[in-house]
A = this chain, B = another copy of it.
Amino acid sequence: MDQVRVIKVKQSVLANNDARADALRQKLKERGVFLVNVMSSPGSGKTTLLVNLINRLKNDLRIGVIEADMDAIVDANTVENKTGVKTVQLHTSGECHLDAKMVDEGMNFLGDEGLDLVFLENIGNLVCPAEFDTGATLKMVLLSIPEGDDKPLKYPLMFERGDWFVFTKMDAISYFDFNVDRVEASILKENPNAKFFPLSAKTDQGVDRLAAALLHEVKAYQGKAE
Those of A1-23 within 8 Å (CB) of chain B: 2, 5-6, 9-10, 12-13, 16
B contact residues around A153 at 8 Å (CB):
71-72, 74
Q: Does A84 contact B (CB under 8 A)?
A: no
**In this assembly, does A83 line the interface, its C-beta being within 8 Å of a C-beta of chain B?**
no
B residues in contact with A123, CB < 8 Å: 127
One complex includes copies of this chain to the number of 2
Among the stretches A28-36, A107-115, A142-150, A214-222, the one at the interface with B is: A142-150
Evaluate contact between B154 and A42: CB separation under 8 angstroms.
yes
Interface string of A70-100 (1 = CB under 8 A from B): 1110110000000000000000001010000
* Known A-B contacts A144-B146, A169-B146; A42 and B151 likewise in contact (beta carbons under 8 Å): yes
A120 neighbours in B (Cβ, 8 Å): none
* A124 with B41: CB separation less than 8 A: yes
- Contact residues, A22-77 vs B (CB, 8 A): 41-43, 69-72, 74-75
Min Cβ gap A120→B in Å is 16
- Are B124 and A70 in touch, CB under 8 angstroms? no
Binding site for B on A (CB under 8 A): 2, 5-6, 9-10, 12-13, 16, 41-43, 69-72, 74-75, 94, 96, 123-128, 131, 144, 146-148, 150-151, 153-157, 169, 172, 175
